[in-house]
Amino acid sequence: MTHVPHAAPGKITKLNRVERNAWTKQKIFDAATKVVGKYGYAEASVARITEEAGVAQGTFYNHFESRQELLEQLLPKIGLDMVRFIHARTGTAHTARQEIERFSAFFDFILEVPEFLRILNEAEFFAPIGYQKHFDNISTAYVRILRRARQAGAIIDFSDEEFEAIVQMLMGARGYLSRRYSYAEGKVTAPPAHVISAYRKLVTRGLFNATKDNGHER
């Protein structure tokens, strides 16, 4: 399922109060996504957001307690879209292949929702609560996936704690790669093929050859 901003209600449809209310809130939300995606959290003033949404500044506070409250909701909400998107694109087995699919789907999602990248990367500092929430969501799900792969025999000799660390690494890899390869002056582009292949190699056989001296005894 892809992320689609809610279409404006058709002119024919008469909205009742509840619907109008939800629609206004959604307009603000969409505007915020757009503004943060384009200018970043720091420049996402209430004035800018409401202007983009086409409502008065005061209206904002009929729907959100504060600017911060809205900002905190941004990432978790889009994050769910991402999870669904990736899930839909991933096979049901538990092998490395599916991990590569997830990896690729992440970049596909970025292309679909170009605001996501900036929202994701900046949230840590500007919307820490939302960031935490999002990260917990992702992290939990990811660890579960790895556990299943271990049960299926596709992964061996990793403890649960190590899985947690691994998830951080894989998330970090995605984050940094997306910054490096998917940005081009505000535009979002697909990562080159060697990024995918490098990831596959790292994940399927590591970086260094197996040797007797693998730093273990440190």
Asked if 125 is part of the footprint of DNA (rule: CB under 7 A), the reply reads no
Of 77, 141, 70, 78, the C-alpha closest to 114 is 78
Which pairing describes strands 187-188 and 183-184: parallel, antiparallel, or unpaired? antiparallel
Task: Give residue for tokens 């909205």.
Answer: 15
Which of 48/150 has CB closer to DNA? 48
Asked if 6 is part of the footprint of DNA (rule: CB under 7 A), the reply reads no
Judge residue 139's burial from the number of C-beta atoms within 10 Å of its C-beta, 0-12 exposed, 13-18 middle, 19 or more buried: middle
| Interacting partner of 186 out of a second copy, DNA, none (Cβ under 5 to 8 A depending on kind) | none
Q: Which of 24, 33, 50, 121 binds a second copy (CB under 8 A)?
A: 121
Query: Other C-beta atoms within 10 Å of 70: how many?
Result: 23
Asked if 140 is part of the footprint of DNA (rule: CB under 7 A), the reply reads no
Asked if 124 is part of the footprint of a second copy (rule: CB under 8 A), the reply reads yes
Residue type for position 50 = T
59-88 binders of DNA (CB under 7 A) = 59-63, 66-68
Binding piece for DNA, criterion CB under 7 A, among 45-53, 126-134, 137-145, 209-217? 45-53
- What Rg value do the Cα atoms of the chain yield, rounded? 20
Which of 65/157 has CB closer to a second copy? 157
Q: Compute the distance between CA of residue 89 and CA of residue 155 in angstroms, rounded to an integer.
A: 21
Q: Which of 21, 180, 186, 189 binds a second copy (CB under 8 A)?
A: 180
Running DSSP on this structure, what letter comes out for residue 95? S
Which of 65/161 has CB closer to DNA? 65
Of 3, 198, 185, the C-alpha closest to 81 is 3
SS3 144: helix
Asked if 182 is part of the footprint of a second copy (rule: CB under 8 A), the reply reads no
Asked if 138 is part of the footprint of a second copy (rule: CB under 8 A), the reply reads no
Count of residues touching a second copy (by CB under 8 A): 66
Which of 8/156 has CB closer to DNA? 8
